Structure 1
């Protein structure tokens, strides 16, 4: 057994002359680096020059947009849109008795009934698209949480299915519902 181990180590040394064996028998590659002694100020200057020459972290501009990245971003944006609208309305509803606003159901129905049809459809579309997308993409994420649909083709298909169902549901709700 020991002779086999010694033979293997010998072969490794012959194959890679830059490697050396540690006392414990592990192979370690030696890398010779040119170093120089520098004062604290010189070291700070070198570091500053290196930081300037360093590439910036990868950003959105270098990546090709894919359905997964776009859907993830849109899911966050639609969640913020919906929750922001809910918070704003909730705060306004709570502040209404103190400010003199009339946000009770009868007043809201009468106000919306007085709007032109194009404004009504615009407001419905503004809330329908984020609602349907966030809901359907949430179902997609719940499926992923139980381990369903993780293959690349399934992820791409489910992403485009969410987009298509969002368009159909939102258009139906905006114009018919």
Structure 2
């Protein structure tokens, strides 16, 4: 209301608002109202969807990788999701393979196959399995400590992030050397 009083339209707006409808439709009053010069057109739902999808493709991803500096917190979050997805795909894939071909994927066949591999292939495969498992496990424990309300500050988040990375490295080396 203070804005209308400042420009001096308060009483005019009140009169226009509370006046009877026939007075509002007077041609003199209609000429005072500013008309928009925007043209609109009706679209089919499919055309509207196409326009909306092209607008969505032009939007930046979140977080916008070209603007924000990579930080340990969101990189850790992305890696946690990727390792969880990868480990789940491996588990369910092996389970389905064992379900459909139990004689091919039996423990004896897998041990026999792994024994025939060169040593460097075994080390690479162990590393590929051990690193995501260790990171996902320790980062899961980190999230559980956050659920208790501890280490929620920025300093605490970075400390636990570096602790997860260190524990992942040590555990990966230990698991590969087994």
TM-score by length of 1: 0.68
Report deviation, 1:93. Answer: 0.2
Report deviation, 1:38. Answer: 2.2
Give the Cα separation in 2 of the matches to 1:77 and 1:161: 19
Give the Cα separation in 2 of the matches to 1:35 and 1:166: 66
Equivalence for 1:120 = 122
* Residue 130 (str. 1) matches residue 132 (str. 2): yes
Equivalence for 2:166 = 164
Structure 1 residues 24-80: Cα deviation after superposition (integer angstroms, max 9, x where no partner): xxxxxxxxxx97332314xxxxxx8xx97xx73352222110000000000000001
TM-score by length of 2: 0.68
The verdict on how the C-alpha distance between 1:102 and 1:39 changes in structure 2, with shifts beyond 3 A counting, is closer
In the alignment, which of 150, 153, 156 is matched to residue 151 of structure 1?
Answer: 153
Corresponding residue pairs, total: 139
Give the Cα separation in 2 of the matches to 1:77 and 1:63: 20
Gaps of 5+ in 2: 11-33, 42-50
Give the Cα separation in 1 of the matches to 2:166 and 2:117: 30
Once the two structures are superposed, the pairs formed by residues 49-88 of structure 1 within 5 Å of their partners are 56-57=59-60, 59-88=64-93
CA RMSD of aligned residues (A): 2.9
After TM superposition, what 4+ stretches of structure 1 lie above 4 angstroms from structure 2? none
Give the Cα separation in 2 of the matches to 1:72 and 1:168: 20
Equivalence for 2:29 = none
Give the Cα separation in 2 of the matches to 1:151 and 1:85: 35
Give the Cα separation in 1 of the matches to 2:98 and 2:35: 68
Report deviation, 1:91. Answer: 0.6
